[in-house]
Structure 1
Amino acid sequence: MPGMHIYTESAVNIREHQSAEGGDIIYDRGFTRLSRLAGLTLMWLFLVVIPLQGAHPDEQVQITFNEGLFLPQYPLYFNSEGRLMIAAEDAARLLEYQLDWVDNNQIQLACQDISVSLRAGIPEAIYNYQIVIFSPAPLKIDDILYLPLRSTAELLDYTVVWDVAHHSANVYSPGIPIPTPPEPLSSQAPAGLPTWGSCATTPGLENCWPEETLLSSYYTTLLDRSAGRTKNVELSCQAINGLIIQPGQVVSFNQVSGPRTKELGYQVAPIFVDRKVVPGRGGGVCQTSSTLYNSVLEAGLEVLERHPHSLPVAYVAPGRDATVSWGGADLQFRNNQEVPVKILARVWDNYVLCAIAAVI
């Protein structure tokens, strides 16, 4: 059991000094385990619990349970050591154990053949009639008892995996295999890919964002790789990448990407005007908007505004382009999903990649 130490000796003579929330506790361990249990119980009765200082809430952290989103009733906290703390009531729902209150500061957990007694501010617990070190100690925040998520879960044979990319704690039931993260994109794209298509079904592109929960992903080929045009595509991808869209929210490509100006680094490159190819600042941005448009379609989001080019484009299928111009044609769509979604966009090797990911 990680984070815990079990005393198995029946009699020891070690004078122990430890710090608790109510002050220092000094006692002699020269007695049997049963006597020590009685002493610990008596000590709990007279302990004055002082709320832990340094704990802070985190509204961005999430918990998943067997790959599904878990919604806690109470805020999640990180303690002063950076350990994720969860309210005892939420932990009981998540880990499916019976929760009984001995008093306002002490609880009893029961799950199958496991029984645990915990008290706020005390790093010692009674686990199946054995004294164990439970780290970090439970703490009281606004009269709510909080438990360390990892230690509590592992005590009951659950597995917790921290996902840095998603800022989430992923909890898995006993016996559930832990998913293996997919390999990220290599440094070079495979040869012979179609000009456009879904990343999910294209060998070599299926793991374009392995850390994300993708609803869709699409790619187009940079057929014109001139420096100015490629720079414009890169800048527009950077402008929209990472945008989180709440349920019901409408997104305007022009408003998100901003004006294509010299001050923002946009270069002069070919654009279409009245069925003619002419030089214009920001040429190539339409490949970003067109790639995003296809990803939006594949994700099933609601398209509110889209305009075709005045001439055919070669990097996407006929009827699947989306021209944009600052102050003119725009690409707009609404998040009609029940969860927030995120736009992902990048230039990789010879391709423009766009995706819609669920924020969970």
Structure 2
Amino acid sequence: MSDVTQVLTRTDKITEQKLVTVPSTALCDGQARLRIKQFALTANNVTYAASGFAIGYWKFFPTGQKDWGLVPVWGFAEVVESKSDVVSVGERFYGFYPLASELVMQPVAHGSNAVRDVAPHRVDLPTVYNIYSRASSAPKSSDPYQALMQPLIATSYLLYDWLMDNNWFEAKQIIVGSASSKTGLGLTAFLSKHTDKPFNVVGLTGKGNAEFVEELGFCDQIVSYDAVETLDQVASVYVDMAGNGDVKKRLHERLDGNLKHSSAVGISHWDQFAPQVKVAGPKPEFFFAPSQIEKRKNEWGKGVIDRKISEATQMIVQDAARWLTLETHQGLEAAMTPYAALASGTANPKIGHVVEV
């Protein structure tokens, strides 16, 4: 057994990270050791860190170190040792991993092509994060796009489905905050393609990203954060990917009496997040994607929502070459640079960061 390399993030100051090496532990019966091979870094990971206590993301991969946690990432890993009857050495899995070189899991079969980690500390956490899909037969050339897109576009599609499920809250405009983020652009893409849509799609973004959002072609209107006061005062829904407290407050004031719903999704502007800020109009409600998945599973039956998410992801992935440039970083230490850019809000939205371990 080789030692495990980890990038630890300070839980109370998420811009601070350190590279550590810890001893690998022997496997118990039923466990498997997966070597993490490749993962993506996006603003989504910053949201995981920023909401690590509020939503529980720090619980997935406990470190045993006070004030230091492992940020979850989405990517691929290979089984290098197994004392489990359901996974074999050499199999590849796509799923939710720590920012580290390995994961020890306790897998049980989940359908015909996936496993679920039932390690005691994960049993009560949302199931969607505990499922790992077999990827051994998939072409590795598609790995970076899947790592980058699937979790984000899944959230985009579930937001779209949830809005449709609620009849768009009878809004005449749907405002998407942080429209340059991959979750934001995914949502604007799905909204823009909706047949006979009864609303305008408004992309809210920083001045520096406005041109990029315009080039995507998914929004009917683009408004910069410093121009929130120019938003049309009509029946509206705000879907907030950024969590910028000042922008939220100003938008609620501008649309007071017209805002039908305010949804909080991400915290990419975590440093300007103000959870206690009082706003005019409806109280912002957090959108938790796993809840919509469970609702649709109950309504539609097994596998339907998963198929719809997969089809939606492929639609965005096929278009991604038009606007996304892949940038590959070698090694866990190299992962700290793009993470810092994402956490500070200086990352270029046209670049997708992939780390090979």
Same structural fold, with TM-score higher than 0.5 when normalized by the shorter chain: no
Q: Which has the higher helix share?
A: 2
Q: Which has the higher contact order (CA 8 A, sep 6+)?
A: 2
- Please report the TM-score for the alignment, with normalisation by the length of structure 2: 0.24
Q: Which has the higher strand share?
A: 1
- Please report the TM-score for the alignment, with normalisation by the length of structure 1: 0.24
